[in-house]
Structure 1
Amino acid sequence: MLKSLLTVAGLCLLSMAGIVTFSMLGREFFLLPIPDDLLLVGLLMVGVIALPAAIVERDDGHIAVTVATQWCPPRWRLACDIFGKTLMLLFFGGISSAVALSLPYEFTSGAYLDGELEIPTWPAKTVFCVGFVAFS
């Protein structure tokens, strides 16, 4: 499942690049940019950031501040690691649950973002929720 999240994040990144490229070319040569291009790129950024977070955490690829703990004995380092992961779980788990609880309203309200395309808000929030639930 985590590899598929990484694949979707990569597709989001490629889509962002395509939107920016084609919008710029359309604006430059045809005076027709892609409508709401900046909004679309911002929404795709949610997938680029939230979806691969679980793989980064699993592989210990995240940025960690170890200046204070590198001189500690191994037992202390383990205790600090457990403490840090517990805090991370509480913080990101809380954010994930808050977003998950708001999703039914997003589906039923019909809320959308201002712009020519009137993009609904629920897809970006769903992607964020899936990414951070997997991360937690």
Structure 2
Amino acid sequence: MLHNVISAGHRVLGGIERGLLVVASIALILIAALILIEIVSRWLPVLRIPDNVIIVRQLMVVSIACSLGWVTGRDGHIAIDLLFQHMTPRQQRACRGLALVCGLVMAVPLVVWIAGDVGALYASQSFYFGELKLPEWPVRTAFLFGLLSLTARLCLQLASLLAGSDDPVPSDAGHKG
């Protein structure tokens, strides 16, 4: 029963992560387009986009944050496995568990802090300096969703590990074990 719940959680979260990955991909495409327009606008000033640097910075935050859960779900973070490969399976499980707990210790306070920050920014209607007066809360909201997906993925992986799975990464995630 627990394995079915965990599998369902992986499927649901996988769908959410794929949606966030689409958002991250669109943000990267927009970054490339804005940089291209900025380069071309040096010769054609008519194409100038105000606050281009602010927009690119904020889109970079969106692209990174919205892909965190998806990358974590596929075990895609940079790792050096020299020592890990020489450990016993029990030691590897302990290291995975420790890494997941450390990730949660980092992620949960960040989620709480960013959630409060998003609420405060929305209530105060804070804007970035610049010609367009872009509101700050949409980017922070995307950052919050990215951190929420990361936190949920870490929780699911920890639950999988505690439920007895040798590999907390779901088999349908494209992980090569």
After TM superposition, the structure 1 = structure 2 runs for residues 82-101 of structure 1, keeping only pairs within 5 Å, are 82-101=97-116
Identify which of 50, 74, 95 aligns with 1:80.
95
Output the amino acid matched with 2:136.
T
Output the amino acid matched with 1:33.
R
Q: Does 1:36 align with 2:24?
A: no
After TM superposition, the structure 1 = structure 2 runs for residues 1-136 of structure 1, keeping only pairs within 5 Å, are 1-30=16-45, 33-136=48-151
Q: Distance in 1 between matches of 2:109 and 2:85?
A: 29
Task: State the Cα distance separating 1:31 from its structure 2 match.
Answer: 5.8
Matched with 2:11 is: none
Q: Distance in 1 between matches of 2:42 and 2:124?
A: 34
Task: Structure 2: give runs of 5+ residues left out of the alignment.
Answer: 1-15, 152-177
2:85 match: secondary structure = coil
Task: Structure 1: give runs of 5+ residues left out of the alignment.
Answer: none
Task: State percent identity of aligned pairs.
Answer: 29
The two structures have a TM-score, normalised by structure 2, of: 0.73
Report the RMSD for the aligned CA atoms in angstroms.
Answer: 1.3
The two structures have a TM-score, normalised by structure 1, of: 0.94
For structure 1, which segment, 126-135 or 28-37, has the greater mean C-alpha deviation from structure 2 after superposition?
Answer: 28-37
Contact 1:36 1:116 in 2 (8 A): yes
Contact 2:37 2:47 in 1 (8 A): no
Contact 1:24 1:33 in 2 (8 A): no
Task: Please identify runs of 4+ aligned residues in structure 1 that moved more than 3 A.
Answer: none
Task: State the Cα distance separating 1:40 from its structure 2 match.
Answer: 0.4
